[in-house]
Chains A and B, each alone.
Chain A
Amino acid sequence: MSVQVLLPGVLAALAGGEKHVDVEPAGATLGALLDALEARHPMLGRRIRDETGQVRRFVNVYVDGEDIRFNGGLATPVRDGAEVQVLPSVAGG
Chain B
Amino acid sequence: MTDLLAIGTRKGLWLARSDDDRRTWTLDGPHLLAQEVAAVSIDTRRPSPRILAGIQYGHWGPTVMWSDDVGGSWNETDHGAIRFPEDAGAALARVWQLRPDTAERAEVVWAGCEPHSLWRSTDGGCSFELVRGLWDHPHRPTWEPGGGGGAVHTILPDPASDRVTVAMSTGGVYVSEDGGQKWEPRNRGITAVFAPDPLPEYGQCVHKVAVDASGPDRLYAQNHFGVFRTDDAGNSWSSIAGGLPADFGFPVVASPQTPGTAWVIPLVADMQRVPPDGRLRVHRTRDAGATWTELGVGLPDGNWSAVMRDAFCADEHDRTGLYFGTRDGCVYASADEGDTFTLVADHLPDVLAVRAARLP
Contact = CB atoms under 8 A, between A and B. Distances in A.
Interface in A24-78: 42-43, 46-48, 50-52, 54, 56, 58-59
Contacts of B79: 42, 46
B89 A52 contact: yes
B47 interface: no
Contact of B59 (A42, A46, A50, A58): A58
B57 A51 contact: no
B92 interface: yes
Interface residues of B, number: 17
A19 to B, nearest CB: 16
A16 interface: no
B353 to A, nearest CB: 18
Contacts of B57: 47
Nearest to A47: B60
Contacts, number: 46
A58 B58 contact: yes
A50 B60 contact: no
A56 B59 CA distance: 7
Nearest to B90: A52
A54 B91 CA distance: 9
Q: Which of A47, A48, A51, A91 has the most CB of B within 10 A?
A: A51
Nearest to A49: B61
Main secondary structure of the interface of B (DSSP, over half): loop
B332 to A, nearest CB: 25
A59 B60 contact: yes
A46 B63 CA distance: 9
A54 B92 CA distance: 12
B76 interface: yes
A42 B78 contact: yes
Contact of A51 (B58, B59, B60, B83): B83
Contact of B91 (A50, A58, A93): A50
B74 interface: no
B135 interface: no
Main secondary structure of the interface of A (DSSP, over half): loop
Interface in B25-63: 57-61, 63
A51 B78 contact: no
A52 B85 CA distance: 9
Nearest to B78: A42
Contacts of B91: 50-52, 54
B242 interface: no
A11 B58 CA distance: 13
Interface in B59-96: 59-61, 63, 76, 78-80, 83-84, 86, 89-92
A24 B60 CA distance: 24
Nearest to B57: A47
Contacts of A93: 58
23 contacts: A42-B78, A42-B79, A43-B76, A47-B57, A47-B59, A47-B61, A50-B91, A50-B92, A51-B84, A51-B91, A51-B92, A52-B86, A52-B89, A54-B91, A56-B60, A56-B61, A59-B59, A88-B59, A88-B60, A91-B59, A92-B58, A92-B59, A93-B58
Interface of B: 57-61, 63, 76, 78-80, 83-84, 86, 89-92
Closest 3 CB pairs of A and B: A50-B91, A47-B60, A42-B78
Given A47-B57, A50-B91, A56-B61, 11 more contacts: A43-B78, A46-B60, A50-B92, A51-B86, A52-B84, A52-B86, A56-B59, A59-B59, A88-B58, A88-B59, A89-B59
